[in-house]
C-alpha cells in the first residue's frame, strides 16, 4: 500500500515538470514556457512497497494552439519515485527532490521504469486497482478499465515516444498507447479508440474548473 505523506518537497513535482516537459516530443510548446497545474491523476501500488507510482494529469496555461487542430489542455505524466537511482535509466530521469520524510527521491518518467511497466498491465488485466492520488489506502473508482479477451499482457515493453504520445511496444504483439495529450470525451463517456481491445479512462479538471473525462490509455493487439 502506498503511504501518502503530508510533507514538503523541494523542488515540487510541478517545478520539476516545468523544466522537463519542454524536452518531450509530445509537448506543445508555449511562448512563455510551461506553467503546469495539477488537474488530476491516481496512484498504483508497488507490491514490494519500494517504488512510488503516480499518474499525474496536469494542465498547461501557456500551451500554444497546435497548427493541426485545437490546442491540448492536459497532459498525462506517469512518474515513479525511488530512494536511489535506477541503473541504466539516466535518460528517463525527470529530476531529484528532497522529501520531508523520506529524504532524497529520484523521479523518473514511469514509462521507462520496470515497476510501472509491470503494474500498468496488471491494472488493465484487473489484478491491480487504481488508488487515490492524495489519500492512503483508498481505491480510486473513478479510474476504469475495459478489455476484450483475457490472458496476461506482456511485461517486456519497449517505450517509444513521438509527437502523438507514448507507445509501449512488445515483441509479443500488443501495443499499449498512452494518451499523453488528453482530450475530453464529448459526452463524458469515453469510448474505446478505434481498433483497440481495451482502454483506461479517468477524469481531470480543466483550468476553468470544469470536470471532464477521457481516455488515458488504449490497448491494441
Residue 203 CA to its chain's centroid (Å): 12
Cα–Cα distance between 96 and 107 in angstroms, integer? 6
In a domain, 72, yes or no: yes
Cα–Cα distance between 212 and 42 in angstroms, integer? 15
Q: What confidence category does residue 30 fall into, taking pLDDT thresholds of 50, 70 and 90?
A: low
What are the φ/ψ torsions at residue 32 (nearest 5 degrees)? -95, 5
Q: Which domain holds residue 212?
A: 9-220
Q: Which of 59, 72, 45, 42 is nearest to 144 (CA)?
A: 42
In a domain, 2, yes or no: no
In a domain, 160, yes or no: yes
Residue found under cell 507514448: 166
Q: What's the whole-model pTM score?
A: 0.90
In a domain, 1, yes or no: no
With vertex at residue 199, the alpha carbon angle to CA 137 and CA 141, rounded to the nearest 5 degrees, is 25
Res 2: pLDDT: 66
What are the φ/ψ torsions at residue 208 (nearest 5 degrees)? -85, 5
Cα–Cα distance between 105 and 139 in angstroms, integer? 24
In a domain, 113, yes or no: yes
Locate 6 and state its grid cell: 503530508
In a domain, 3, yes or no: no
Percent of the chain exceeding pLDDT 70 equals 89
Res 29: pLDDT: 74
Q: Which regions of 92-134 does DSSP assign to beta strands (E)?
A: 93-99, 103-109
Res 85: pLDDT: 97
Cα–Cα distance between 14 and 5 in angstroms, integer? 17
Looking at per-residue pLDDT, the higher value among 125 and 67 belongs to: 125
Mean of pLDDT values over 167-185: 91
In a domain, 41, yes or no: yes
Q: Which of 99, 64, 67 is nearest to 81 (CA)?
A: 99
pLDDT by residue (tens digit) across 106-143? Answer: 999 999 999 999 999 999 999 999 999 989 889 999 99
In a domain, 4, yes or no: no
Beta bridge partners of 200: 145, 217
**Structurally, how many domains does the chain consist of?**
1
Percentages (nearest 5) of helix, strand, coil residues in the chain:
15, 40, 50
Res 188: pLDDT: 67
Asked which of 38-47, 50-59, 64-73, 136-145 is least confident by mean pLDDT, the reply is: 64-73
Asked whether 212 and 188 are in contact (CB, 8 A), the reply is yes
Amino acid at each position: 500500500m502506498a503511504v501518502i505523506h503530508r510533507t514538503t518537497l523541494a523542488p515540487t513535482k510541478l517545478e520539476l515538470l516545468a523544466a522537463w516537459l519542454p524536452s518531450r516530443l509530445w509537448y506543445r510548446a508555449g511562448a512563455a514556457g510551461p506553467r503546469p497545474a495539477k488537474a488530476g491523476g491516481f496512484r498504483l501500488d508497488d507490491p514490494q512497497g519500494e517504488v512510488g507510482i503516480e499518474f499525474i494529469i496536469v494542465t498547461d496555461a501557456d500551451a500554444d494552439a497546435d497548427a493541426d487542430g485545437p490546442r491540448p489542455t492536459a497532459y498525462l505524466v506517469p512518474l515513479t519515485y525511488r530512494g536511489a537511482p535506477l541503473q541504466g535509466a539516466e535518460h528517463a530521469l525527470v529530476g531529484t527532490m528532497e522529501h520531508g520524510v523520506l529524504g532524497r527521491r529520484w523521479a523518473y518518467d514511469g514509462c521507462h521504469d520496470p515497476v510501472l511497466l509491470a503494474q500498468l498491465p496488471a491494472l488493465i488485466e484487473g489484478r491491480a486497482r487504481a488508488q487515490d492520488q492524495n489519500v492512503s489506502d483508498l481505491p480510486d473508482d473513478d479510474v476504469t478499465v475495459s478489455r476484450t479477451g483475457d490472458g496476461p499482457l506482456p511485461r517486456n515493453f519497449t517505450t517509444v515516444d513521438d509527437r502523438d504520445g507514448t507507445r509501449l511496444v512488445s515483441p509479443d504483439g500488443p501495443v499499449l498507447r498512452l494518451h499523453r495529450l488528453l482530450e475530453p470525451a464529448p459526452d463524458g463517456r469515453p469510448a474505446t479508440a478505434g481498433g483497440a481491445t481495451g482502454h483506461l479512462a479517468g477524469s481531470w479538471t480543466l483550468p476553468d474548473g470544469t470536470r471532464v473525462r477521457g481516455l488515458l490509455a488504449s490497448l491494441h493487439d
